[in-house]
Chains A and B, each alone.
Chain A
Amino acid sequence: MSTNIIPSRIRIRSTRDIRHYLHTYPFKDLVDFFIEYEAKNRIMEKEDVVKRMDKALQVMKESVLKGKEHKNRTPSGLIDGGSKRVKQYTEKEHPDLLGKDFDNVIVNSLAVGELNACMGRIVATPTAGASGVLPGAFLTISEKFNISEECQVNALFVGGGIGELIRINASLSGAQHGCQAEIGSASAITAATIVSLFELSLDKIENAAAMALSNLLGLVCDPVAGLVEFPCVNRNVTGSINAVACAQMALAGIKCPIPFDEVVGAMKQIGDDLPASLKETSRGGLAITATGKKISKEMTDGDPRDPA
């Protein structure tokens, strides 16, 4: 049954719910639906919701630029100007493995991940540790295709809406469900965002996100010395590249055999089953390798800095 009135409350738990709303109520499209969803849930005007997303887009863009400018060196030495290195190497030296576009994804993703590690300003999508994934892939592609800022903002609502389903049904937290919930979710959000730049088809968006997340299921959270540096920053690149590949596959019509909602369910189950040592406690994985322990000792000993 269709009606002419937008409901006063919008609650979603699955892609089926989204389809139901789109089918039953006069939403213009998926973007309109998610803007309305946010406005209703935050008790904000629709135009303010759009303005706020535009602000996020501007900060995201700025974070790429600043991340490429900044020295990006952390006291631990785990982060040391990787973004700049890749840029300079691929511009001047040999081999440049897959060409400029691919390099840009790596450079931009690293730039934001490193900027975050160096106390720069970022948009946590969905977390600070995974903040390079979305800008690395999505902004790089938006720039390549000269996509208007309005369309970029619209796409962010779709990606954010897909992430919202993960947040509601599982979590976006490494401490709760491991790195699959951070880098994995970020990659799914990014894949959905990229597809929606070109086709506002919920089927393709859902497939892209489902494939991206299923590729990273099981990823554990094991940051060395408890710092959001290694393996976090490099994993941002993995998340970005995975998102591009899955978006491309979904655009071409490849379907994920397991629907998105079920992939999210799998992620939750895996995350719940993961031992605490692999969920942001730095008591397992890379964090407790011989070298990991050594770095940890150097970084966590001594007093916090008292006033000089």
Chain B
Amino acid sequence: MAIFDVIGPIMIGPSSSHTAGASKIGYMASLVYGKHFDSVEIKLYNSFASTGRGHGTDRAIVAGLLGMKMDDERIPYAFEIAKQKNLKYYFRKSYKPDHHPNEVRFVFNRGTEDSFLVRGISIGAGKAQITQVQEDRVEFGGDHAVLLLNYGDVPGMIGFIGDILGKYKINVAYMQSARNALQMSAMAILKLDELCPSTAVEDLKNNPDMHQVISIRKLNNEY
């Protein structure tokens, strides 16, 4: 945070939390899903649900899903563009005080694959965070590249992950791991200075106990 948070960001109005932050959630959610999808259900919570329409929150989210950044002048036309690209989306609303005031839940669908859940929140000043990926509670906002791992709850996985990071000389800014006893699985979230190289991602995926590897680049100085 510094002067460009005072003079900036450059964005499409009217609201940094309800428009700019909303587009960023959509943008990050599509990076997390990482592939083409047939349809997506978008659930808006609380303030996003009640004042979202007047703030273009719905359009901004769809724009973000289409890869537009918060300063993209096509945001107001996101619905029309989505139609051209044959992107199907459905909005739902939910009012639940135990959820963040500016929260969105995405459920991505693709062919016969299982649906995929991503949740995000807008935290003000055009900043956003992803808070859930599938079953896993996470917290990241685009300041770092992210590696999200989900694996079988067996001994030696952290060592295995560490070996690969060492092999590719990947510097870790932050790491957290947790076990999901119910699912017999565990997850780790790693925040990195640079995007994890695709060869390292392949190595991670080659371990039979690794269920899922999601690698996301950082958004950094993008508006």
B28 at the interface (CB under 8 A from A): no
Are A128 and B8 in contact, CB atoms less than 8 angstroms apart?
Answer: no
B50 at the interface (CB under 8 A from A): yes
Q: Chain B interface: which of A92-100, A101-109, A110-118, A141-149?
A: A110-118
Chain A residues with CB below 8 A from B52, complex form? 304
Given A119-B56, A307-B90: A37 and B3 interface contact (C-beta under 8 Å): yes
Instruction: Flag A290-305 by CB within 8 Å of B: 1 or 0 each.
Output: 0000000001101111
Query: Which residue of B5, B15, B20, B53 has the most chain A CB atoms within 10 A of its CB atom?
Result: B15
Chain B residues with CB below 8 A from A137, complex form? none
Given A120-B13, A304-B44: A159 and B51 interface contact (C-beta under 8 Å): no
Given A42-B4, A167-B5, A167-B6: A128 and B51 interface contact (C-beta under 8 Å): no
A189 to B8, CA, bound (A): 13
A305 to B50, CA, bound (A): 12
Are A305 and B55 in contact, CB atoms less than 8 angstroms apart?
Answer: no
Are B7 and A175 in contact, CB atoms less than 8 angstroms apart?
Answer: no
Given A123-B7, A164-B3, A303-B93: A228 and B79 interface contact (C-beta under 8 Å): no
Chain A residues with CB below 8 A from B59, complex form? 119
Are B15 and A129 in contact, CB atoms less than 8 angstroms apart?
Answer: yes
Chain B residues with CB below 8 A from A207, complex form? none
B7 shortest CB reach to chain A, Å:
4
Chain B residues with CB below 8 A from A173, complex form? 124-125
A20 at the interface (CB under 8 A from B): no
Chain B residues with CB below 8 A from A38, complex form? 2-4
Chain A residues with CB below 8 A from B47, complex form? 226
Q: Which residues of A are at the interface with B, using a C-beta cutoff of 8 A?
A: 34, 37-38, 41-42, 44, 52-53, 55-56, 59, 74-76, 115-129, 131, 134, 156-157, 159-161, 163-164, 167, 172-173, 175, 189, 225-229, 282, 299-300, 302-308
Are B79 and A308 in contact, CB atoms less than 8 angstroms apart?
Answer: yes
Chain B residues with CB below 8 A from A300, complex form? 50-51, 53-54
A118 to B19, CA, bound (A): 11
Task: List the 8 closest pairs (A to B, CB-CB), nearest first.
Answer: A116-B13, A163-B6, A226-B51, A160-B3, A228-B14, A41-B2, A160-B7, A119-B76
B110 at the interface (CB under 8 A from A): no
Chain B residues with CB below 8 A from A56, complex form? 4, 7-8, 10
Q: Which residue of A lies closest to B76 (CB)?
A: A119
Query: Which residue of B16, B54, B125 has the most chain A CB atoms within 10 A of its CB atom?
Result: B54
A188 to B83, CA, bound (A): 44
A37 to B76, CA, bound (A): 36
Q: Which residue of B lies closest to A48 (CB)?
A: B221
Chain A residues with CB below 8 A from B58, complex form? 304-305
Q: Which residues of B are at the interface with A, using a C-beta cutoff of 8 A?
A: 1-17, 19-20, 44, 47, 49-59, 71, 73, 75-76, 79, 82-83, 88-91, 93, 124-126, 221
Are B14 and A125 in contact, CB atoms less than 8 angstroms apart?
Answer: no
Are A34 and B93 in contact, CB atoms less than 8 angstroms apart?
Answer: no
Are A307 and B8 in contact, CB atoms less than 8 angstroms apart?
Answer: no
In the complex, besides A117-B14, A163-B6, A226-B51, 13 extra interface pairs with C-beta distance below 8 angstroms are: A41-B1, A75-B54, A118-B13, A118-B14, A119-B59, A128-B13, A156-B7, A173-B125, A175-B124, A225-B54, A304-B52, A304-B57, A306-B91
Are A119 and B10 in contact, CB atoms less than 8 angstroms apart?
Answer: no
Given A299-B53, A308-B79: A128 and B7 interface contact (C-beta under 8 Å): no
B1 shortest CB reach to chain A, Å:
7
Chain A residues with CB below 8 A from B13, complex form? 115-122, 128, 131, 228
B66 shortest CB reach to chain A, Å:
14
Are B12 and A120 in contact, CB atoms less than 8 angstroms apart?
Answer: yes
A134 to B20, CA, bound (A): 20
A251 shortest CB reach to chain B, Å:
22
Are A227 and B54 in contact, CB atoms less than 8 angstroms apart?
Answer: yes
Are A159 and B7 in contact, CB atoms less than 8 angstroms apart?
Answer: yes
Q: Which residue of B lies closest to A165 (CB)?
A: B6
Given A42-B2, A225-B54: A124 and B9 interface contact (C-beta under 8 Å): yes
8 A-B contacts, Cβ less than 8 Å apart? A41-B2, A119-B14, A123-B8, A157-B3, A226-B50, A304-B52, A305-B53, A307-B90
Given A160-B6, A226-B51, A305-B58: A128 and B124 interface contact (C-beta under 8 Å): no
